[in-house]
Structure 1
C-alpha cells in the first residue's frame, strides 16, 4: 500500500496540487464555478450597456446621470477590490464569493424594478460592491485551485468576459424581437439577477474552501480533507513541525499588512501587475468610445444592427481571450503583455492618423487589431500575473490591490477621455492615448518578473508575510520565513 503524503504546511499543499497534470473531476466543477462569478461580473456590466439607450429615452436621463450610472460599478470596485481581498485573507475564499452573489441578486432586482434614476443607481451600487469583491477573490481562488502545468488557463477569464458581454447582447436582441419596447433594459438587468441567483445556489452547494488558504491558517486537518474532496489526493496532516506551529501562533494578516506588497521582492511584482492592469483599463476606453461609431457606420443606426455590430467586435475579443492562454504559455505573461501593448500602440497611432480619412474596411480592421492585441495580451494578464505572484497569505490582498488599480483606470477612462475627445476630437484623442500602451510596454520590458517562468512558488520557497507582531525585531518582508528556516530565493511562481 502506498504511503500517504504528509502535509506540514502550505508548501506541501502547493507541491501536491502542482504535481497534478490537469484539473479534473470535482476540481473541474469548482474551477468553472469560480469562473462563473467572473462571467456574472462581465454580464452585469454589459446588461447596463445594452439597455442604456432605451433607459435614457424612458427615464429622460441627462448626460451627467448617464456618466454616473456607467462609472458607479468601476468606482466602487476601487474600494471593494481590496476589501474583498481583505475578507478572503481573513475568513476564507468562498464566503466573500457567496456574499458577492447576494449583493448581485439584490442590485439587479432593485435596478430592474426601479421607477426612477435614484433607485437604478442604488441597484448599480450593490452590483459594484459585488463586482469589486468577487473579482479580487475569484482570481485568488482560481490561482490556488490550478496546478502549475495549467496556470495559463487563468487567462481564459478574458474570453469569459467577452462571452458574457456577447451573451447579454444576444439576449437583448431576443428581448427586442419579443417587442418589450423601452422596457428592454429591465429585462437585461433582471436577467443578470437570475444568473447571480443560480450561481449563488451552485457555489453554495459545490464550492470547496481552498486547501492552500486553510493550510496558511494552520488548519491542516481541514486542508487535507478538502484536498481529497477536490482532487482525490489522500494526504495526512502533520501538525508537529515548526512551520505548522508558527503559522498557528501567528496573528491573522489584515489590511495593515498590505504594505508588504510594496517591499522587497514583491515590489516589482506589484508594480508590474498594477501597470498592466491600469494600462489595459485606460486603453480599453479608446475602443469603448470608438466602437459605437464603427458599429453605426458599418452596421447601421437601428438598435438591432448596432447590437449585431457590437457582438461582432466582442466576438473578436473572445478569440483574443482564448489566444491569451496560448500566448501566456508560449511567451510568458510579461512578454505577451509587452507584445500586446505594442500592438495596441500601433493600432491607436494608425487610428489617430487615419480617422475620418480611411476607407470603411480599414476603419473596421484597426479596432479589430486593437481588440485582438488587447484581449490576447494585457487585457487578460494584469489580473492573472497578480494572482500568480504572491504567497497564499497575501494573494487575495495582491489581487485586490491590482483590481483596484485597474478599476481606477476604468473610472478615469469613463470621465477623462470623453473630455479629451470633446476638446481635441477623436483622432487626436487616439494619438494622446497611445502613450498609455507605449509606457505599459516599456515597463513590461524593464521589469523581468514572470511567475510562469520560475521554478517553484513563493509558498514552496518559504515566502510569507511576517509582521513585527509575528517576529519581534524583524522587518516585514515577503522573503521572511515563518518557520525560521532558510529557503530558496523568493523569485518563484505562486499559484
Structure 2
C-alpha cells in the first residue's frame, strides 16, 4: 500500500507568498473572512464620519453653534486623521497589521461614547479627536491588508470599499430617520454618534477572533516560519518556512522605519505617489465639500423639513452605493487611472452646472445633478485613490505609503470640511460650487498625464527589482 503525503509549500521569500495567493481561483474560506472584516473596519470609518453629518443640523441647533464652531467640529476628526494616517502606516509596517487595527477599534469605541454623552461642545470635539485617530490608523492598514490578501486578477475588487462606504452612510441616514420618528428631537445627533460605538464594539470582538497577520508582510521582514504558519491558518494547507531567505528575486527590504517615506519620492515610485496623492486629495476635497454636506444642501434645496431633506440625502447616497459597487467593474474595464480621470471630468461639469444654475434648478434637476455627482465620484476617483496607493508599493512600505498619501487626502478633507461652511456663508452656495469645480478639473488633467496603472502591471510591486532602494 502506497502512502500519499501532501507536500508542503515552501516559503523562502515574499514571492512564494505572492505566487500562491495569485494562483488562488477565488477569495474564500478564512481569507474571505479576513477580507470582509478588513472592509468592515472601513464600514465603521464611514459610519463614524457620516454619523456627525446626519445629525449636524440638529447638533447646531441643540448646542447653538456658530459657523466657526461647526467648521472646527466637522474638521476635527480629519485633522487628527491627517496626523494618524502616517502614524498608523508606520506602526503597521514596523509591528504588523493586526495590533494597530485592533487599537483603532478601541479608539473608535471611546470616541463614540465620549461624543454621544458630551454635555458641551468641547467634549464633542474631544470625542471626534478619538474618532479621527481611529479613522487615520484603520484606513491606511485595512487597504494594505486587502491588497496583500487579494489575487492579482482580482485587484480591481479593492474598489468595493467605496460601495461599503456609501452603504454605511445610507445605513446611518436610515437610522437617523428611525430616531427622528421615535421622537429623538434635537438629541438625534447623540443617538447617531453613539450607534457608531455599538458597531465598533462588535467589530473589535470579531477582529480579535478572526484576523490573521499578513504573510506578505512577515515574509518581506524575513520571518519565514511565521509567514508559513499564518498561511496554514488562512488557507488550511501545509506550508513550511525555508531555513534562509531567498532574496534573489526581490528588492532589498527597507528597514529604516519612518525613513522609508523617502522611497516614495524616488525613481519609479515618485509618479505613482504623485498620481495616488492627486486622486486622494482631489476626491477628498470634492466629496467633503459637497457630498458630506448633502444633508445641509438638501435643506437648502428642499426646505427645512428634516425627514424630507434626509430622504433626499438618502437618494443621493443610493447612487453612491451603485457607483461604489460598480467601481471594481469600471476599474477592470478602464483601469484606476482612466476611471479617475473620467470621474473627475464629470464631477467638474456637474459642479459647473450647479454653480451656474443652482437658484433656477427645477426639482428634478435638483435631485439629478447631486445624484450624478455622487455616482461619478464613487465609481471613479472616490474609490481609486486608496486602491492606487495600496497597489503601487511593496509590502514593507505599503502601509507607510497608504498612511502618507492618506494624510494628504485627509488634508484635502480638512480643506473641504473646514472651508466649505465658511466660504458658503461668505459667497453663497452657487459660487462655492464654482470654486470647488476647479479641483476636479486640475485632477482630471494630472490623471491624464501620468500613465501608471497598477491593475495592468505585469508583476507585483513586491517583485520589482528596479524598485527604489536606499543607498548602500
User: TM-score, normalization: structure 2?
Assistant: 0.94
Give yes or no for contact 1:37–1:138 (8 Å, CA) kept in 2.
Answer: yes
Contact 1:157 1:321 in 2 (8 A): yes
**Which region of structure 1 is more displaced relative to structure 2, 59-68 or 282-291?**
282-291
Q: In the alignment, which residue of structure 1 is the partner of 2:272?
A: 269
Q: Matches of residues 411-490 of structure 1 in structure 2 within 5 Å? A: 411-462=414-465, 466-468=469-471, 472=472
* 2:120 corresponds to 1:86: no
- Alpha-carbon RMSD: 2.1
Q: Point out where structure 2 has 5 or more consecutive residues left out of the alignment.
A: none
2:27 to 23, 26, 36: 23
Residue 310 of structure 2 corresponds to residue 307 of structure 1 = yes
SS across alignment from 2:395: coil
**Which position in structure 2 is the counterpart of 1:114?**
118
Check conservation: 2:13, 2:246, Cα contact below 8 A.
no
Question: Per-residue CA shift, 1:167-196, capped at 9, x if unaligned?
Answer: 111111111222233222221111111110
What's the counterpart of residue 338 of structure 2? 335
Shift of 1:66: 1.5
| Residue 441 of structure 1, CA deviation | 1.2
Question: Structure 1 residues 39 and 33, CA, compared in 2 at 3 Å: closer, same or farther?
Answer: same
2-structure distance, mates of 1:285, 1:339: 19
Moved more, 188-197 or 359-368: 359-368
Does the C-alpha gap of structure 1 residues 229 and 235 become closer, same or farther in structure 2, counting only changes over 3 Å?
A: same
Aligned with residue 42 of structure 2, among 25, 38, 42: 38
Counterpart mapping for 1:117-156 below 5 A: 117-156=121-160
Whether contact under 8 Å (2:315, 2:371) holds in the other structure is no
The 3-state SS of whatever aligns with 2:183 is coil
Q: How does 1:64-83 map to 2 (within 5 A)?
A: 64-83=68-87
- Within 2, Cα distance between the matches of 1:175 and 1:357? 33
Q: Between 269-278 and 186-195, report the one with greater CA deviation.
A: 186-195
8 A contact 1:352–1:426 mirrored in 2: yes
TM-score, normalised relative to structure 1: 0.90
SS of the residue corresponding to residue 438 of structure 1 reads helix
Between stretches 359-368 and 140-149, larger displacement belongs to 359-368
Distance 1:175 1:274, change over 3 A: same
* Deviation, structure 1 residue 24: 0.3
Q: Which stretch shifts more, 1-10 or 273-282? A: 1-10
Report the Cα distance in structure 2 between the residues aligned to 1:319 and 1:116, rounded to whole angstroms: 38
The corresponding residue for 1:185 is: 189
Task: Measure how far apart 1:460 and its partner are.
Answer: 2.2
Contact 1:15/1:460, CA 8 A, preserved across alignment:
no
1:289 and 1:398 map into 2 onto residues whose CA distance is 25
Aligned residues: 468
**Residues 48 and 131 in structure 2, CA contact (< 8 A), matched pair in contact too:** yes
Residue 14 of structure 2 is aligned to residue 4 of structure 1: no
Aligned equivalent of 2:384:
381
In structure 1, what is the equivalent of residue 262 of structure 2?
Answer: 259
CA contact (8 A) 1:31 1:145 kept: yes
Question: Take 1:341 and 1:103, find their aligned partners in 2: how far apart are those partners?
Answer: 34
3-state DSSP of counterpart to 2:212: coil
Task: Determine which structure has greater relative contact order: mean sequence separation of CA pairs < 8 Å that are 6+ residues apart, divided by chain length.
Answer: 2
Kindly indicate whether residue 356 of structure 2 is the aligned counterpart of residue 356 of structure 1.
no
Distance 1:294 1:409 in 2: 20
Match of 1:194 in 2: 198
Match of 2:207 in 1: 203
Once the 2 structures are TM-superposed, how far is the Cα of residue 305 of structure 1 from its aligned partner?
1.6
Q: Given that residues 327 and 378 in structure 2 are in contact (C-alpha distance below 8 angstroms), is that contact kept between their aligned partners in structure 1?
A: yes
Query: Secondary structure of the residue that 1:6 maps to in structure 2?
Result: strand
User: Is the Cα contact below 8 Å between 2:324 and 2:379 reproduced in 1?
Assistant: yes
CA contact (8 A) 2:71 2:422 kept: no
Q: Distance in 2 between matches of 1:329 and 1:251?
A: 31
Q: Secondary structure at the match of 1:21?
A: coil
Question: Counterpart in 1 of 2:240?
Answer: 236
Distance 1:320 1:81, change over 3 A: same
| Alpha-carbon spacing, 1:235–1:289, altered in 2? closer, same or farther (3 Å) | closer
Are the equivalent residues in 2 in contact too, given 1:391–1:463 (CA < 8 A)?
no
Contact 1:21 1:149 in 2 (8 A): no
CA deviation after TM superposition for structure 1 residue 290, in Å: 6.6
Q: Identify which of 363, 372, 375 aligns with 1:372.
A: 375
Greater alpha carbon shift after TM alignment, 182-191 vs 290-299: 290-299
1:322 aligns with 325
In structure 1, the gaps of 5 or more residues are 473-495
Partner of 2:395: 392
